[in-house]
Amino acid sequence: MTNLDPSSISQEPQSPQGNIPPRARRRRRGQLTVPADAEGRAALLQSLARRAYPSYELFVFAVLCGAILGLGFVIDSQAVLVFGILMAPLLTPWIGLLLGAITGSARFFGETLMALLISAALVFISGVLAGFAARPFLPRTFNEAFLHSRLWWPDLIVLALGAIILTISFVRSESKPYLPSVMLAYEFFLPLSAGGFGLGSGIGDIWPHGALVFLVHFAWASLFGILTLLALRFMPTNFAGFAFTGVTTIIVVVILIGLMTGGSWLPSAGARLASRDTTPASSPLRTATETLPPVMDATPSLPPSSTPVIESATPTDTLAPSPVPLTLEITLPPTETPTMTLTIEPTPVYARVQSDQGGGVNLRKQPGGQYIATLDNNSIVEVRPETQIVDGVTWAHIIAIKGNQQLDGWILQSVLVVATPVPNWQPSDTPTITSTSIPSTP
């Protein structure tokens, strides 16, 4: 099999069809077979390269698809997102990319790769603009953007099937494979647009993950596409072709291993591959029965003071003076009772995050202020007494533990389910029991 020549792509492959009946010719055009000989496979490859070469329609529909997807994320509508995917461009240039990798045609590989990157950039930029448009409506939880910026095993299974079906359909039939192309576009453009939306809206847990999920999906689909072409007997014919195909396959595998097993870009709160459980693995909570020993505030009694009182007796006999008695009267001060002050810490109020949309809630530095982190559903937080009402929305002051780090901020009070039965979410004030001294009478 020879390398692809982009200059000959616009030319129709010539095949002797003069002796083929019209009905058989139409059937042959509708259902191609992979020739067994090298010359026939080379002719088929040139025909496939011509059909897979990118055109201006790729970029026009990429802009249209990105705009609709951005609108779907702004209004958080799944129906609009599906409509945007139906408007996605036909991903036949992705097949051209695989053909360039298989045959070792670096020029054709570079042209199709650049066209795909430009179309992906158009979808991503449309998502960024949609994110900026959603900023006036914050704070909000965007359920669809959150879900499509995560990596799930069912998506990988659907993506592998779509890549295999698209490759086989494109090689064996001259009809345009719309359905498998939509399957790939769903897995490519939705996380990419979600990542751009997260970047534009300033929601950090959406932006990096969506872009990385797109890279994983692209590498995953390319791996299965290359394996499918090899199974269809599309093989390099020279050392340069083998080397180029091998290097491309190794790069794809390295990207998959690095992104899928590294785990550094996954949310620390528990959005894990193949699991939608957002409960943190460990939530170190402070005990709710922290008490301090009573503080004894006792004043030691002073030693009693003695006051001698001399009283004179009236003489009853003027002739014989009687002795003058000396009376000693001791007056003791009142005994003071020790004052005991008992200080009791307020009982912490714990609540569970439960949002109907977005799978969590945004934690902010001030009510409606700077973004700190995203707390997933079922996260346990400590509710502080302070609340604020901003634009008719009540915000609660909370303390949360995420990634072994204590976070202090404000979230919407409506997404909290109180775990400690305390009225009005207010911890009790610190009571002080004081015993005052009561002087005793002498």
129 DSSP 8-state letter: H
Cα–Cα distance measured from residue 212 to residue 207, given in angstroms and rounded to the nearest whole number: 9
Per-residue confidence (pLDDT) for residue 14, from 0 to 100: 44
Domain of residue 357 covers 282-314+327-442
Name 396's Cβ contacts closer than 8 Å, sequence gap at least 6: 383, 384, 386, 387, 410, 411, 412, 413, 416, 425
User: Is 320 contained in some domain?
Assistant: no
Please indicate, yes or no, whether residues 146 and 294 belong to a single structural domain of this protein. Answer: no
Per-residue confidence (pLDDT) for residue 69, from 0 to 100: 97
Please indicate, yes or no, whether residues 233 and 332 belong to a single structural domain of this protein. Answer: no
Q: Which two tokens stand for residue 298?
A: 């006792």
Q: Which two tokens stand for residue 230?
A: 């090899």
Please indicate, yes or no, whether residues 48 and 173 belong to a single structural domain of this protein. Answer: yes
User: Is 277 contained in some domain?
Assistant: no
| Structural domains in the chain (count) | 2
Cβ proximity of 224 and 155 under 8 Å: no
Name the one residue in this structure whose structure tokens are 């992906």. Answer: 120
Please indicate, yes or no, whether residues 305 and 214 belong to a single structural domain of this protein. Answer: no
Please indicate, yes or no, whether residues 360 and 233 belong to a single structural domain of this protein. Answer: no
Cα three-residue angle 186-189-195, rounded to 5 degrees: 125
Please indicate, yes or no, whether residues 439 and 410 belong to a single structural domain of this protein. Answer: yes
Cβ proximity of 278 and 269 under 8 Å: yes
Please indicate, yes or no, whether residues 234 and 171 belong to a single structural domain of this protein. Answer: yes
Please indicate, yes or no, whether residues 302 and 239 belong to a single structural domain of this protein. Answer: no
Residue 1 CA: distances (Å) to CA of 105, 136, 188: 11, 57, 30
Per-residue confidence (pLDDT) for residue 339, from 0 to 100: 59
User: Is 153 contained in some domain?
Assistant: yes
Please indicate, yes or no, whether residues 226 and 307 belong to a single structural domain of this protein. Answer: no
User: Is 1 contained in some domain?
Assistant: no
Q: Which residues of the chain are modeled with pLDDT < 50?
A: 1, 9-20, 22-30, 263-320, 324, 326, 328, 422-423, 427-438, 440-442
User: Is 267 contained in some domain?
Assistant: no
Per-residue confidence (pLDDT) for residue 205, from 0 to 100: 77
- Which has the closest alpha carbon to 52: 5, 95, 16, 111? 95
Please indicate, yes or no, whether residues 205 and 331 belong to a single structural domain of this protein. Answer: no
Per-residue confidence (pLDDT) for residue 178, from 0 to 100: 94
Please indicate, yes or no, whether residues 178 and 83 belong to a single structural domain of this protein. Answer: yes
User: Is 155 contained in some domain?
Assistant: yes
Please indicate, yes or no, whether residues 342 and 423 belong to a single structural domain of this protein. Answer: yes
User: Is 242 contained in some domain?
Assistant: yes
Cα–Cα distance measured from residue 110 to residue 402, given in angstroms and rounded to the nearest whole number: 43
Cα–Cα distance measured from residue 191 to residue 159, given in angstroms and rounded to the nearest whole number: 13
For the chain, percent of residues with pLDDT exceeding 70 = 65
User: Is 276 contained in some domain?
Assistant: no
Residue 207 CA: distances (Å) to CA of 64, 192, 214, 441: 21, 9, 11, 78
